[in-house]
């Protein structure tokens, strides 16, 4: 008997290893994949503008990065006690406009350099709904908890989404190196605050536009994270308590699909060692004066030394220094 519809995924894209550089941008699900890659010590840069949900916000961020156009204080808005950028996530908000602008511009320069050497760029789209600030008729990336009365809500038309995605691909192709691949994916997070029917309209427009663009560019592919969640897993037991976000089990399942499709099996043993090291580093020791603790420190340091040649430079440098210090203190 068959109890579920299992989705098969046969990619054509580049295979990643520890020499690869991966750039991720977009909605919350891009964060999940980025955290998995970073946890395994791959070279990753994620969301230099913070979490972004809709195509024009991602396009705008990449345009500023592509052109290295830095922000000026005049582009920053003050709401209550905090300064904010309408192009950025609220995690950038600061009580100092100088610190905010400095952080934003530093990320632009770093991201520009990273994109020039990136092997894969993962773009996760979340919604086709956008908000415009009525006062300036300005499309924003984040509303920053400013009252809804100051915004108008708009569902992007198909041609607007396609144009935005094509602009994104053109910029990334121009700035990127030969062989760079762009992997589009649709976030499985359900934006039910927009309404269930509205969420489905939004997702369908994004999905149609993405496939239209992917079919037009040889360096683009589609990763079906949305379909893995909605059609393969297809059960509320794979959601968090809010019934909106995928839970850890679902994220791990989709991550494994990504790993098996896009990461070279040759580095799987290294990844397992990294996982073991991470687990050891999270281990809480009750008594630091035992022989067992000294053996634990020695084993973890040895594991880092053995795996270090295969990882990006300095991947475990900070952790290694802490462990060495503890070893010296324990003798």
Span 46-80, pLDDT tens digits: 999 999 999 999 999 999 999 999 999 999 999 98
Query: How far is Cα 12 from Cα 74, in angstroms, rounded to an integer?
Result: 45
Q: How confident is the model at residue 331 (pLDDT cuts 50, 70, 90)?
A: low
Name the residue ranges covered by the structural domains of the chain.
Answer: 21-263, 270-330
DSSP symbols for 123-180: EEE--SEEEEETTTTEEES--TT--GGGEEEEEPPHHHHHHHHHHHHHHHHHHSPTT-
* Predicted local distance difference test score (pLDDT) of residue 178: 92
Where do runs of H (alpha helix) occur along the chain? 28-39, 55-67, 97-116, 158-175, 196-214, 225-227, 248-262, 268-282, 291-307, 317-330
Q: Residues 306-324: what's their mean pLDDT?
A: 86
Asked if the model's pLDDT at residue 222 lies above 80, the reply is yes
Cα radius of gyration (the chain):
22
Residue owning tokens 């955290």:
35
Among 106-110, 131-135, 182-186, 284-288, which is the least confidently predicted range? 284-288
Query: How far is Cα 99 from Cα 86, in angstroms, rounded to an integer?
Result: 16
* Predicted local distance difference test score (pLDDT) of residue 11: 80
DSSP-derived pairing of the beta strands 120-125 and 82-84 = unpaired
Among 9-13, 147-151, 172-176, which is the least confidently predicted range? 9-13
Distances in Å between the Cα of 20 and the Cα atoms of 117, 118, 165, 257, 262 are: 9, 7, 24, 19, 11
Q: Are 219 and 177 in contact (CB under 8 A)?
A: no
Residues 6 or more apart whose CB falls under 8 angstroms from that of 170 comprise: none
* Predicted local distance difference test score (pLDDT) of residue 190: 85
* Predicted local distance difference test score (pLDDT) of residue 330: 63
* Predicted local distance difference test score (pLDDT) of residue 220: 95
Its pTM stands at 0.92
CATH level 2 (architecture), domain 21-263: 3-Layer(aba) Sandwich (3.40)
Distances in Å between the Cα of 50 and the Cα atoms of 30, 63, 328 are: 11, 15, 40
Asked if the model's pLDDT at residue 328 lies above 80, the reply is no
CA neighbor of 31 nearest in space, from 19, 49, 11: 49
* Predicted local distance difference test score (pLDDT) of residue 140: 96
- Choice between 112 and 2, residue whose per-residue pLDDT is larger: 112
* Predicted local distance difference test score (pLDDT) of residue 294: 81
* Predicted local distance difference test score (pLDDT) of residue 321: 87
- Average per-residue pLDDT in the chain? 91
Among 182-186, 239-243, 314-318, the range of highest mean pLDDT? 182-186
CA neighbor of 186 nearest in space, from 126, 122, 239: 126
Asked if the model's pLDDT at residue 179 lies above 80, the reply is yes
Mutual angle of helices 55-67 and 158-175, in 10-degree steps: 30
* Predicted local distance difference test score (pLDDT) of residue 281: 84
CA neighbor of 30 nearest in space, from 223, 172, 180: 223
Asked if the model's pLDDT at residue 1 lies above 80, the reply is no
* Predicted local distance difference test score (pLDDT) of residue 59: 97
Query: How far is Cα 211 from Cα 273, in angstroms, rounded to an integer?
Result: 37
Asked if the model's pLDDT at residue 223 lies above 90, the reply is yes
Query: How far is Cα 308 from Cα 311, in angstroms, rounded to an integer?
Result: 5
Q: Residues 19-38: what's their mean pLDDT?
A: 92
Structure tokens at 232: 């393969």
* Predicted local distance difference test score (pLDDT) of residue 9: 86
Structure tokens at 237: 């037991």
Q: Residues 205-233: what's their mean pLDDT?
A: 94
* Count of CB atoms situated within 10 Å of the CB of 213: 21
CA neighbor of 121 nearest in space, from 218, 220, 252: 220
82: left (phi over 0), alpha (psi -120 to 50) or beta: beta
Asked if the model's pLDDT at residue 284 lies above 90, the reply is no
* Predicted local distance difference test score (pLDDT) of residue 299: 87
Query: How far is Cα 116 from Cα 121, in angstroms, rounded to an integer?
Result: 11
């Amino acid at each position: 008997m068959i109890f579920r519809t299992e989705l098969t995924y046969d990619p054509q894209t580049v295979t990643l290893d520890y020499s690869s550089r991966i750039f991720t941008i977009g909605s919350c699900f891009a964060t999940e994949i980025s955290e998995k890659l970073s946890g395994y010590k791959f070279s990753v840069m994620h969301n230099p503008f913070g979490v972004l949900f809709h195509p024009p916000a991602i396009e705008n961020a990449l345009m500023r990065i592509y052109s290295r156009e830095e922000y000026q204080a005049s582009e920053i808005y003050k709401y209550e006690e905090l300064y904010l950028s309408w192009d950025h996530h609220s995690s950038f908000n600061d009580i100092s406009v100088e610190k905010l602008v400095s952080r934003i511009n530093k990320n632009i320069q770093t991201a520009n350099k990273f994109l020039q050497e990136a092997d894969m760029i993962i773009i996760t789209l979340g919604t086709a709904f956008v908000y415009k600030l009525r006062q300036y008729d300005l499309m924003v990336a984040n509303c920053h908890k400013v009252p809804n009365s100051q915004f108008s809500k708009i569902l992007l038309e198909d041609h607007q989404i396609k144009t935005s995605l094509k602009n994104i691909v053109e910029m990334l192709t121009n700035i990127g190196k030969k062989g760079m691949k762009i992997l589009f994916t649709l976030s499985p997070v359900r934006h039910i605050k927009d309404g269930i029917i509205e969420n489905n309209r939004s997702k369908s427009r994004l999905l149609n536009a993405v496939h239209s663009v992917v079919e037009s560019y040889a360096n683009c592919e589609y990763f079906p994270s949305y379909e893995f969640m909605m059609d393969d897993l297809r059960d509320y037991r794979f959601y968090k308590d809010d019934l909106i976000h995928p839970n850890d089990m679902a994220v791990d399942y989709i991550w494994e699909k990504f790993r098996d499709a896009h990461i070279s099996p040759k580095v799987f043993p290294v990844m397992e060692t990294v996982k073991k090291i991470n687990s050891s580093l999270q281990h809480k020791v009750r008594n630091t004066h035992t022989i067992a603790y000294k053996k634990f420190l020695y084993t973890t340091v040895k594991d880092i030394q053995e795996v270090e040649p295969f990882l990006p430079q300095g991947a475990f440098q900070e952790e290694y220094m802490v462990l060495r210090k503890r070893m010296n203190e324990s003798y």
